[in-house]
Amino acid sequence: MIETNPPSFGIFWIITETEDLQDYKLLYFNVPCDMCGIAIDTPTIQFNSKSGKSYNHKAIWESRVKNNTGHKPYNKKDYNYYPRGRVEIANNKAVIYLNPSINQTPIIEGIKKEFGLTGYSTAKIRVVADNSAHYACFIC
């Protein structure tokens, strides 16, 4: 299989107004990297996580979604309204952390596609349904 997107790490939301997730949009902010998780050709990206090596959901929502009129109507919501998650890459493996309500095959496949992971075996990709308050949303 030829991969069209390079592997990448970052954060995402599943934008939906229904608990059954029949209609949703994957909103994501990703950074191309190697399979060790080192960002590639990204000298101008300013990360805002505590570690300084990735994105923070709240900070990205406030700076790039909430104030962007192109993202109506969901830009009126708070960052933690919609189900969300992140992709981390290290040691030639990827981990997808997400709210358990979105741990569904079509959604996982969409995340893998946009984060350049469709060409990797399932042994190299782990999905972690995080039921902690960190990923709580309106569905919870």
pLDDT recorded at residue 1: 42
Residues 6+ apart with CB under 8 A from 28: 10, 11, 12, 13, 111, 114, 115
pLDDT for 82: 92
Predicted TM-score (pTM) of this structure = 0.87
Q: Please, what is the Cα angle at 11 between 38 and 135, to 5 degrees?
A: 130
Closest CA to 25 of 16, 35, 34: 16
**Residues of the chain falling short of pLDDT 70:** 1-4, 41-54, 69-72
pLDDT reported for residue 69 = 61
| Residue type (1 letter), 64 | R
| Mean pLDDT, the chain, whole residue set | 84
Amino acid symbol at 116: G
